[in-house]
Amino acid sequence: MGDIVMGTEISIDFPKAFLWGTATSSHQVEGNNINSNWWQWENTPGKIRNSYKSGHACGWWESMEKDLSLMKEMNNTTHRMSLEWSRIEPEEGKFDQAAINRYKDIILALKKNGIEPMITLHHFTEPLWFQNRGAWIQKDPVKYFMRYVSFVVKNLGQHVRLWCTINEPEGYAVAGYVICYFPPGKFSLLSCFRSLFNLLDAHLAAYDVIKKQNPEAQVGIVKNYTLFDPWDEKSFWDKFLAPNLDKFFNRVVLDPLISGKTPFFLPGWRKLAQRLRGKVDFFGLSYYTRWRVRAKLGSPSTMVKNIFNCTPGALVSDLTNEGHPYGEIYPEGIYRALKVIARLNKPVYITGSGLPDADDSRRPLFLLAHLKHVHRALQEGMDIRGFYHWTLTDNFEWADGWALKFGLIAFDPLTDERIMRGSGRLYGEIAKEGRITRDMVERYAPGLLPGYFGE
């Protein structure tokens, strides 16, 4: 594996068993998910950009075959999808067999077409009844989650090899209780840490349930690794703030898994951290961007607005609901994140990476540049098993609704029309060949060519 000279053509090759796929989540693509806390949230005025609603979404619940054919067209060998707890257990203690059968049909359809499913058990959403009880800050929420997981594993366990327990637990906690653009949208640092604690505890319990049913199953957790670099390397406060944000967002999850310790004192966390040490079969890394952290005094809102910045002159993504870029395009960040994750000594799947880019002018470059750094990590001996692009088609992107376009496939929610973007064709070529060639770079992102292959 490495730079391969093929006549006059140069390529970088990935391992033959490397999985190429895309990632989706249930609420964002299925549609009409009326028992979910997110259905209530998006129907509350002022919560979603432009008052968008998920509605029919991408129509997966009725028919995901349109998108299955697009996965095949892009030569995908895997797909990461989530199960919707609120469909499977719409009322407390009452399971819907038809819903679990629908998921079984989808999983078997993927496998029949040579696409290995990676299943996520919790991807930000949950039943309304669970939220009304207090969600992840109620007393002993794990027992409710375990009842759901046990039912899922009993019905689907024999068909699934790759399981993700919790998607981005730190993202759920921060978005719900700090930034407040996820339900319940109530600022509370105590609730933020309490929900994160319980989500990590739920990972442990789910891990044990899955492994008991099928010891050969591979079980991991998904973490969004966001880099925080100082805005000004000469500023004491910028240099102080950046690593502390890293502790709060990244290390609070990673340190327990790697060393069984927490990065700072948290009451009651010591035993949980010890139990978490090494308790994954693989690590799911999601990486999108980095922030240049700037400490600036003022009102609380002013200080928060000034914390997160993009490097001046950097290529950036489309704008979020707050009017700032989703992030800068910083490909080296995925390599830096992988180097940190390497301390876990576990296989890694890149479970999500992409950007909102409605006109698809930057996504080909994003793909090629990030995959080059993935290849760099592979050359250094990291055990990286696959790459899941976020996402397959444009979907309902949480608080930004339909405004942010992450898809390799352009999707119109009004007409259901799907159009393959240039980046989708590029990704299909990479997946088919298992390599990135000079010709691909010349056709899709010629500006990358100087130095791309180390010439």
Task: Name the band, by pLDDT with cuts 50, 70 and 90, for residue 5.
Answer: very low
User: How many helices (H) and strands (E) are present in the chain, helices listed first?
Assistant: 17, 16
In sequence order, which residues have a C-beta less than 8 Å from that of residue 284 and are 6 or more positions away?
A: 164, 220, 221, 222, 223, 348, 349, 350, 351
Task: Name the band, by pLDDT with cuts 50, 70 and 90, for residue 267.
Answer: confident
Residue 264's Cβ-count burial label (10 Å; 0-12, 13-18, 19+) is: exposed
CA dist 22 and 401 (Å) reads 20
Task: Name the band, by pLDDT with cuts 50, 70 and 90, for residue 265.
Answer: confident
pLDDT for 455: 60
CA dist 60 and 29 (Å) reads 6
Task: Name the band, by pLDDT with cuts 50, 70 and 90, for residue 300.
Answer: low
Ranges of each domain in the chain: 17-433
pLDDT more than 70, % of the chain:
96
CA angle 93, 95, 98 (to 5 degrees): 170
CB crowding 130-157: b at 16 or more within 10 Å, else e: bbeeebbbeeebbebbeebbbbbbebbb
SS3 category, 99: helix
pLDDT digits (tens, 9 = 90+) for 122-177: 999 999 999 999 999 999 999 999 999 999 999 999 999 999 999 999 999 999 99
SS3 category, 282: strand
In sequence order, which residues have a C-beta less than 8 Å from that of residue 240 and are 6 or more positions away?
A: 295
pLDDT for 9: 58
pLDDT for 308: 86
| Packing angle of the helix pair 332-341, 363-379 (nearest 10 deg) | 40
pLDDT for 323: 87
Total length of the chain: 455
Strand (E) positions, 83-239?
Answer: 116-122, 162-167, 218-224, 227-230
Task: Using DSSP bridges, classify how beta strands 418-420 and 348-353 pair: parallel, antiparallel or unpaired.
Answer: unpaired
pLDDT digits (tens, 9 = 90+) for 211-249: 999 999 999 999 999 999 999 999 999 999 999 999 999
Q: What is the mean pLDDT of residues 193-210?
A: 98
pLDDT for 297: 73
Q: What is the number of other CB atoms lying within 10 angstroms of the CB of residue 297? A: 8
pLDDT for 386: 98
User: Which amino acid does the sequence have at 362?
Assistant: R
CA dist 209 and 149 (Å) reads 8
Residue 336: name the closest of 290, 386, 278 by CA. Answer: 290
pLDDT for 66: 87
Res 53 pLDDT > 90: yes
What average pLDDT is seen over the chain?
95
Task: Name the band, by pLDDT with cuts 50, 70 and 90, for residue 2.
Answer: low
Q: What is the mean pLDDT of residues 68-78?
A: 98
Region of poorest pLDDT, from 117-126, 297-306, 338-347: 297-306
pTM of the predicted model as reported, rounded to 2 decimal places:
0.96
Report the topology of domain 17-433: TIM Barrel (3.20.20)
Task: Name the band, by pLDDT with cuts 50, 70 and 90, for residue 321.
Answer: confident
pLDDT digits (tens, 9 = 90+) for 356-388: 999 999 999 999 999 999 999 999 999 999 999
Task: Name the band, by pLDDT with cuts 50, 70 and 90, for residue 6.
Answer: very low
CA dist 342 and 50 (Å) reads 41
Residue 306: name the closest of 231, 213, 402 by CA. Answer: 231
Which secondary-structure segment (H or E) carries 1?
A: none
Which residue in this structure is represented by tokens 């967002």?
249
Res 298 pLDDT > 90: no
> DSSP alpha helices (H): ranges in 262-418?
269-276, 300-307, 332-341, 363-379
pLDDT digits (tens, 9 = 90+) for 410-445: 999 999 999 999 999 999 999 999 999 999 999 999
Which residue in this structure is represented by tokens 């502790």?
247
Among left, alpha and beta (phi > 0; psi -120 to 50; other), residue 9 is: beta
Task: Name the band, by pLDDT with cuts 50, 70 and 90, for residue 307.
Answer: confident
